[in-house]
Amino acid sequence: MKTVFESSFKKPDHRWVTRELEGGNAADNCAVTQGGYLKLLIKEDDNPKGYNTGMVWVPSFQFTFGLIEARVRHHSPKGAHSSFWLQPEENAYMHDVSSTPNNERETEIDIFEHFGDHAIHHNIYWRDEGAKADEYQNKHAKTTVYDPYDWHTYGCRWKADSYTFYIDGVQTAKFKKGLSTTPKVLILSILVSSWEESKLKKDQLQKYKTEIDWVRVKQ
């Protein structure tokens, strides 16, 4: 396989830009390149939520199929979750499938989600034909990692007939549902969902830090 995209974060990679979703609070100062790593942070702010979060994507690079990997070290407190995920360029969850001619464009691939414990979650989300914006299907797998607060490599081999997930080169899940041939973009984030916000330690926001060493896509 040939590397078609790579970020090492030894210096700022300006292909990664803040991805602001409707109702979100992502901010530029919550995604910083420092010490050879991309750091996703949660920082205090005077907005209604009282904080901002980090979410970046690469709108200039869209691709279909391949081995997608990132070397990552996670945060420890609960109350937020870090993710490495793929979506179509347009925010899929803002629209009904019934209004789009190609249902498969709604598929989301979560290479990992981490919620401040020892579990790593892999997900596929998609909608069936005619589904509304809040009607989606999901395949999910959970893997226990002894020390997610140390460096690990998380990956997904996206093929026309399957999604295979890996942690440090070891297969942890394989799904054959929600198959997609629609180009996707890379997204990295640390976010706070409404259902977990009550656990967010707002007086210890400096502890919420996810670090990324590198990201690669091979085809």
Residue with tokens 């919550």: 30
Q: What is the pLDDT of residues 29-38, one digit of tens each?
A: 999 999 999 9
Of 140, 149, 147, the C-alpha closest to 108 is: 140
In contact, 217 and 68? CB cutoff 8 Å: yes
Domain of residue 194, residue span = 3-218
CB-CB neighbours of 7 under 10 Å:
22
In contact, 196 and 80? CB cutoff 8 Å: yes
In contact, 54 and 29? CB cutoff 8 Å: no
- Bridge partners for 73 per DSSP: 211
Q: What is the pLDDT of residues 29-70, one digit of tens each?
A: 999 999 999 999 999 999 999 999 999 999 999 999 999 999
CATH classification at residue 176: 2.60.120.200
pLDDT of residue 182: 87
| Segment (H or E) for 162 | strand 162-167
Task: Tell whether the torsion through CA atoms of 175, 181, 186 and 190 is positive or negative.
Answer: negative
Count of domains for the chain: 1
Determine how β-strand 209-218 pairs with β-strand 3-7: antiparallel
pLDDT of residue 107: 86
